[in-house]
Amino acid sequence: MNKFYITSPLYYVNASPHIGHAYTQIVCDAAARFEKQLEGGDTFFMTGTDEHGEKIEQAALKAGYKAGEEKKFVDGIVPRFKELWKTLKVNYDYFIRTTDTIHKKTVEKVLQILNEKGKIYKKVYKGWFCTPCENFFSNAEVNEGVCPDCKRKLERLNEENYFFKISEYQKELIDHIKDDRIFITPDIRKNEVLSFLEKNELQDLCISRPKKRLRWGIEIPFDKNFVTYVWFDALINYISGIGYLNDRKKFDSLWPHVGHVIGKDILRHHAIYWPIILLALGEKPPKSIFVHGWWVIGGEKMSKSKGNVVDPAYFTDKYGVDALRYFLLSAVGFGYDGTFYEKLFIDKYNNDLANDLGNLVNRTLTMVEKYFAGVVPDVEEKDIDNEIKSNTEDLPGKLADAYANMNSLSALKVVLERIGWANKYIEEKAPWKLAKEDERKLKIVIYNLVQTLAALAICLYPFIPDTAGKIWAQLGMKEKIANIKFKSNQRSRPSLWGIVTSGTQISKGQPLFPRIVSGKDE
């Protein structure tokens, strides 16, 4: 069976990570966990940092490092990313840096192959360049010398450079995208790329910078006077990190079964330049590209260079890691932009996490303690409610359907609906009355709630792993939740019903999500 290979973009290390980066990363992490735990699949999740180029060189100088000391500068920033990923419980399998030797060697090799194949040539480049975006623009794309994307002032370039002949692959690329051999989702992004490719003739890609202007990059192997354009360098990480040069077996087990998760700002690089580099190399283009929207503040994209960023640590310190993960994954549908503001965050926290989920866990476990001395009651076979049982067993399948194309908003709605059902079930059955009137019925109700909670914990694990683990442990489960493998798409899957056996001693803990009152903890 092929592994599922999932990648995040490589983050620029010109400053600390913000909520936008945290979002891309959490989306990847949830997908990787879902695949591992709920689909029982073999997954490889790779992330890392993009460390060369003009933007990083300038940031190093600004931070007081001298020319030639860029590596020292980036070495100081990379741990900030790694620490944040650890805090956010992002469970990657490999972290690649574009300054790693194997990556640099791979980029050199790719350049050599393409050069030998006659795909690279030299000419004078006249056009525009945006340093914060690290992008080239033609005259036709530019109005009044400002960047069409970020609206900042552009540099005018007039210099000799190396170019990669991408224009000859235009038709082949269109075919790949049209028939979903390169699957781009959501549709709006697929259509955006197709319409761009159908309306414009592709311009060959400038892939070098003269050393006299930029030294911080991977030297072009056949011309010591140039370094590689940072995007050409960075995209190659997706193959350099999985053994393209040094571990062909690993490479063949992962490529091209990849899902690249990216923000909409870097669509063209991934849907046009990257597949063409691969086609020119004689390799298969990537299988899929998942394109998310932006987190916006005051109508503008949150971005380091604009200085309007939200620090993830503020939210994790104040409200907890899973509260942030939950908000990011459930506040907008995958592919849409979202406005980030604290009031919305608090409302979602209070409604979904404190009122619905937190209450359900707390009430259920309190009743197990109160009525059964903390021991999960026994029910007779004939008393099993088949409707509740099958609804619980169907949950992972429904979740998987809703989660198609990384739509965590829909997936979490499925979970939330079941939480809502369980809370209503408690109201309807009124166990506090049954405790006085009918012990057999009380046992059934509590048993059903305990099984539902266990199933919910498993379903929530990819999205809010810490909380899921806590619910699991409070239910008295000894095996780590991370070790539970479940195939939602198999008929013969292990049943989600009856996971917590009768007689299990639960161990109720602190409330999972204390309500937040006016922005402060209660």
Q: Are 497 and 448 in contact (CB under 8 A)?
A: no
Does residue 45 belong to the site contacting ligand MSP (CB under 6 A)?
Answer: no
| Rounded Cα distance, 157 and 330, in Å | 43
Question: How many Cβ atoms from other residues are within 10 Å of residue 245's Cβ?
Answer: 16
Select the span of 20-28, 39-47, 62-70, 384-392 touching ligand MSP (CB under 6 A).
20-28
Pick the closer one to ligand MSP by CB: 205 or 302.
302
Pick the closer one to ligand MSP by CB: 305 or 391.
305
Q: How far is the CB of 184 from ligand MSP (least distance, A)?
A: 14
| Dihedral class, residue 40 (left if φ above 0, else alpha if ψ from -120 to 50, else beta) | left
Select the span of 124-132, 163-171, 297-305, 476-484 touching ligand MSP (CB under 6 A).
297-305
Q: How far is the CB of 185 from ligand MSP (least distance, A)?
A: 15
Does residue 289 belong to the site contacting ligand MSP (CB under 6 A)?
Answer: no
Pick the closer one to ligand MSP by CB: 108 or 265.
265
**4-12 and 258-263 as β-strands: parallel, antiparallel, unpaired?**
parallel
Q: Are 201 and 36 in contact (CB under 8 A)?
A: no
Does residue 23 belong to the site contacting ligand MSP (CB under 6 A)?
Answer: yes
Pick the closer one to ligand MSP by CB: 261 or 455.
261
Pick the closer one to ligand MSP by CB: 12 or 461.
12
Does residue 266 belong to the site contacting ligand MSP (CB under 6 A)?
Answer: yes
The residue within the footprint of ligand MSP, chosen from 259, 263, 312, 431 (CB under 6 A), is 263
Total binding residues for ligand MSP by CB under 6 A?
Answer: 21
Strand partners, 120: 164
The residue within the footprint of ligand MSP, chosen from 4, 6, 21, 467 (CB under 6 A), is 21
Does residue 132 belong to the site contacting ligand MSP (CB under 6 A)?
Answer: no
Pick the closer one to ligand MSP by CB: 302 or 468.
302
Does residue 294 belong to the site contacting ligand MSP (CB under 6 A)?
Answer: yes
Select the span of 74-82, 197-205, 257-265, 318-326 touching ligand MSP (CB under 6 A).
257-265
Q: Taking the alpha carbons of 77, 83, 87, 93 in that order, is the dihedral positive or negative?
A: positive
Q: How far is the CB of 294 from ligand MSP (least distance, A)?
A: 4
The residue within the footprint of ligand MSP, chosen from 114, 235, 360, 460 (CB under 6 A), is 235
The residue within the footprint of ligand MSP, chosen from 104, 287, 301, 398 (CB under 6 A), is 301
Does residue 11 belong to the site contacting ligand MSP (CB under 6 A)?
Answer: yes
Query: How remote is the C-alpha of 17 from its chain's centroid?
Result: 14
Nearest 10 degrees: CA dihedral of 270, 196, 277, 29? Answer: 10
Select the span of 111-119, 155-163, 299-307, 346-354 touching ligand MSP (CB under 6 A).
299-307
Does residue 50 belong to the site contacting ligand MSP (CB under 6 A)?
Answer: yes
Select the span of 145-153, 192-200, 259-267, 488-496 touching ligand MSP (CB under 6 A).
259-267
Buried b (16+ CB within 10 A) or exposed e, 308-326: ebbebbebbebbbbbbbbb
Does residue 234 belong to the site contacting ligand MSP (CB under 6 A)?
Answer: yes
Select the span of 15-23, 84-92, 357-365, 381-389 touching ligand MSP (CB under 6 A).
15-23
* Amino acid identity for residue 366 in this structure: T
Does residue 208 belong to the site contacting ligand MSP (CB under 6 A)?
Answer: no
Q: How far is the CB of 430 from ligand MSP (least distance, A)?
A: 46
SS3 label, residue 80: helix
Buried b (16+ CB within 10 A) or exposed e, 137-155: beeeebeeeebeebeeebe
| Rounded Cα distance, 202 and 163, in Å | 12
Position of minimal CB gap to ligand MSP: 263
Distances in Å between the Cα of 84 and the Cα atoms of 28, 313, 319 are: 15, 8, 15
Q: Are 222 and 24 in contact (CB under 8 A)?
A: no
Pick the closest to residue 30 from 43, 19, 16 (CA basis): 43
The residue within the footprint of ligand MSP, chosen from 24, 135, 208, 504 (CB under 6 A), is 24
Q: Are 91 and 45 in contact (CB under 8 A)?
A: yes
- Residue entry with tokens 């891309």: 24
Does residue 20 belong to the site contacting ligand MSP (CB under 6 A)?
Answer: yes
The residue within the footprint of ligand MSP, chosen from 107, 120, 206, 302 (CB under 6 A), is 302
Query: How remote is the C-alpha of 37 from its chain's centroid?
Result: 16
Q: Are 415 and 408 in contact (CB under 8 A)?
A: no
Tokens of 47: 């992330």
Rg (alpha carbons) of the chain, rounded to whole number: 26
Does residue 220 belong to the site contacting ligand MSP (CB under 6 A)?
Answer: no
| Rounded Cα distance, 18 and 81, in Å | 10
- Residue entry with tokens 């190396």: 162
Q: How far is the CB of 350 from ligand MSP (least distance, A)?
A: 24
* Contact residues: ligand MSP, CB under 6 A: 9-12, 20-21, 23-24, 50, 234-235, 237, 262-263, 265-266, 294-295, 301-303
